């Protein structure tokens, strides 16, 4: 159950970073998204 909660938290963070990255640079946002997918597996 803890793993699932952590995954959800990570996804939420990735979304916030993605929105922010749009103005600063999608590069960081993409990197974070990849990390989230790796963590979920």
pLDDT of residue 11: 65
Question: Residue 25: what are its φ and ψ, rounded to 5°?
Answer: 155, 120
Q: How far is CA 29 from CA 2, 3, 11, 15, in A?
A: 25, 22, 12, 8
pLDDT of residue 41: 45
Number of structural domains in the chain? 1
| pTM higher than the cut 0.75 | no
Question: Which pLDDT tens digits describe the chain residue by residue (41 residues)?
Answer: 567 676 666 666 656 555 554 555 555 545 555 555 555 54
Q: Which domain holds residue 22?
A: 2-40
**Contact status, residue 10 vs residue 39, Cβ threshold 8 Å:** yes
């Amino acid at each position: 159950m803890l793993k699932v909660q952590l995954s959800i938290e990570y996804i939420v963070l990735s979304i916030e970073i993605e929105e922010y990255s749009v103005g600063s640079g999608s590069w960081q946002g993409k990197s974070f998204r990849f990390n989230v997918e790796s963590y979920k597996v």
